[in-house]
Every structure is written in C-alpha cells, then in structure tokens.
Amino acid sequence: MPYETRKKMSDTKMGRSRKKQVRRKEQPDARKHPGYRNSKWYKDAKDQAEAYRRSGEWKRTSKRIMKRDGHTCQACGSTRKQVKQMDAHHVKKLADWMYEGNDPNDYPDNLLATLCHKCHGHTEGQKSEYKWPKSARSN
C-alpha cells in the first residue's frame, strides 16, 4: 500500500475512539497472553523479581536447591564437574509468582530445580514445547 494512502487513512482515523464492539473483540486476545507476556502487565513485578534474583537470599536459596539435587542437572543428568555452570530454575516464573501477590521468599522448593546452563536455556521461554530427556522424567 503506498505511503500516501496509509497517511490519508491515518489522518481520517485521527481523534476517533474505538467502538465498544471492537474493544470487546480485543479482550479475548488479552487472555491468550497472561502475566508478563501481556503488554499491559505491570513492569513493577518483573523489576522486583529481578532485584530478588540479585539478593543474598536468592543466592542462599539456589545453593540450597543445588545441594538438595546433588549438583546434578535434573534434565540431562550432567554434574557440576562436567559443565561450567549450574542454575537454579523456577518452574513457575518468579515474576508471575510475585504478580499474584506472593512473597518471593515463600516460593516453594518443589518448584525449583537444578539445571545445567544449556538445559536452562532450552527451558526458558519454551517450557511447554521442551521435552525433558527420559532419564530426567523418571526422577
């Protein structure tokens, strides 16, 4: 579409509000993107979660979880000696947990797992699509 045509269309719509019918059609779309995925989500909870991850409390919690799991990746089974970095993984995103009004210190330990950096990268952003190896599923 030529620029002039788009400009005319834009100028025509300038100052008009969207009708209720259009707004109602857009509402179900917001349900498809809950929590931090929604563009209207509070940035505040995400910032608070990031600050907590930098705190000493989180460092103590992650060390406790790694010790509980024997410093072994729960996805591929690699140990701390085999890989450079191990991460404590939140099964439910910490920002979502905080957005629901929960305190980060109350995050349940059974929703935390030790993963090697490579497996942690596979799970972040694609939790539902990522298939855990059979060795990890038996645990």
pLDDT by residue for the chain (139 residues), tens only, comes to 788 888 888 888 777 776 666 666 666 555 666 655 565 555 677 778 888 888 889 999 999 999 999 999 998 899 888 888 899 998 888 878 887 888 888 889 988 999 998 888 888 755 544 455 544 444 4
Q: Name the pTM for this structure.
A: 0.58
Asked if the structure places residue 106 within a domain, the reply is yes
95 burial level (CB within 10 Å; 0-12, 13-18, 19+): buried
Q: What are phi and psi of 10, to 5 degrees?
A: -65, -45
Asked if the structure places residue 123 within a domain, the reply is yes
Asked if the structure places residue 18 within a domain, the reply is no
Asked if the structure places residue 108 within a domain, the reply is yes
Asked if the structure places residue 114 within a domain, the reply is yes
The two structure tokens encoding residue 136: 């990890």
Split into its structural domains, the chain has a count of 1
Cα angle 76-79-83, degrees, rounded to a multiple of 5:
90
Answer whether 53's CB lies under 8 Å from 94's CB.
yes
Asked if the structure places residue 126 within a domain, the reply is yes
Write out the residue range of the structural domain in which residue 70 sits: 43-139
Asked if the structure places residue 25 within a domain, the reply is no
Asked if the structure places residue 35 within a domain, the reply is no
